Amino acid sequence: MMSPKVVNTLFVSYILSILFCHATCTSSSTFDEFSFLTDDLYSGEFAIDSNQWSSSKNAHEDAIPINTTEEIVNRWMSKYKIPGVVVGVSVKGKEVWSEGFGFIDIENHVPATPNAHWRLASISKSLTTSLVGKLLEEGKLEWDKPIYNYLKPSVFPVKTWKGKAVNITLRQVMSHTAGLRVTDVPYDYDRIFYDRKNVTQVLDQFKNEPLLSEPGTQFNYSNYGFQVVGAIIESVMSETYESAITKVFKSIGLTETFPEQYQKIYHNKARYYEKNKTSNDVHNCQIWDDLWIQGMWYPAGGIMSTAGDLLKFGNVMINSFKGRSQGGFLKQSTVKQLWTPKIKMDFSKNSQYGKRKVLSINYQPIICHSSS
């Protein structure tokens, strides 16, 4: 795997205040929209040379890339009718620019600012992965042990394929090759939203479903898979995932990152919108906003954060990847394992999946995870 040069010099954190519900995703791919932004950032007319960015906010040379990035973001928002965006840029471990565009609440004209809180959705998987990395280093987990070593049959029964019992490993679950299915929206909602006390209890709703494919043979993106990972974490740590991941956030300085709880009031929290399939107009989500608060679905998609905290997290992982004891969290060898591609994904010829996504643009790998 090539060294992720782009990530080492230019870490861009952007989060959208629009929720593309399942029906909208079918006709308008969020991956295409992500590609539109990244293509403009790294190639073409508005390409940004990462070497132009200075490590000082006040340096004059910052003006050129900031201005071009503002133009790109505004054009992107206009094309896809994005209500609000926050962009953050960190260079050599320092945040050099963070700015909000548009609104996090259209009706009340609440502007998007760098301190706005957003649901990370599937970006939460990257945070979960960092905790798994630490447990691997402590010897509490192993990549290729059957997950049944960590989960009792009553929690997750032994699966079969073509009538024969098969093993499923942690490596397969985290690279989405375990044969587990993705969430079916809105069908699954009548089973998701119960008063769960921990992540392990969430497994009840799908633990008896058949596999989609033989483990290790096909890529099937699975939110359920990362719930299994969360249950494994609870098993080996003898505490809830919520408690364990909160300790990780505290240890690496993520002060604005937390598992979302329905009852709590969060200041500067983005509201969510959807686009009409016919008119393409933006309007309030119907009941999706409330339903999307997935109690105990933290490992797969239930974390909230800010752009600034995501920059901190990115820098922690980069420091770990570079083997820096100061500012890191994991060993260099651990991060290399997490970032090594395991399987080619069908929806993009340039994308592969390790324990998070590896996207190649202009032959420079970018370590990332998208969400919707």
For position 71, what pLDDT does the model report?
84
How is residue 148 written in tokens? 């049944």
DSSP 103-170: EEETTTTEE--TT-BEE-GGGHHHHHHHHHHHHHHTTS--TTSBGGGTS-TTTSPPPEETTEE---BH
Indicate the SS3 state at residue 301: helix
- In tens, the pLDDT along 62-88 reads 455 777 778 888 888 888 888 898 888
Whose tokens are 């094309």? That residue is: 79
For position 18, what pLDDT does the model report?
33
Indicate the SS3 state at residue 282: strand
In the chain, domain spans:
5-128+253-368, 135-241
How many Cα atoms are found within 13 Å in the side-chain-facing hemisphere of 30? 18
| Residues recorded for the chain | 372
How is residue 128 written in tokens? 């979960």
For position 32, what pLDDT does the model report?
45
Whose tokens are 């497994």? That residue is: 203
For position 297, what pLDDT does the model report?
84
- In tens, the pLDDT along 45-64 reads 334 445 555 544 444 444 55
For position 60, what pLDDT does the model report?
47
Question: What's the CATH code, domain 5-128+253-368?
Answer: 3.40.710.10
Cβ-based neighbours of 184, under 8 Å, separated by 6 or more:
none
Q: Rounded CA gap, 323 and 331, in Å?
A: 7
Question: Nearest to residue 224, comparing CAs of 181, 261, 278?
Answer: 181
* Beta-ladder partners of 15: 86
Cβ-based neighbours of 108, under 8 Å, separated by 6 or more:
none
Helix extents (H) in the chain: 5-9, 22-27, 30-42, 63-80, 124-137, 170-174, 189-192, 223-237, 241-251, 288-291, 298-301, 307-321, 332-339
The mean predicted confidence, pLDDT, of the chain is 78
Query: Which of the residues in the chain have pLDDT under 70?
Result: 1-64, 185-194, 286-295, 342-366, 370-372
Q: What is the DSSP letter of 244?
A: H
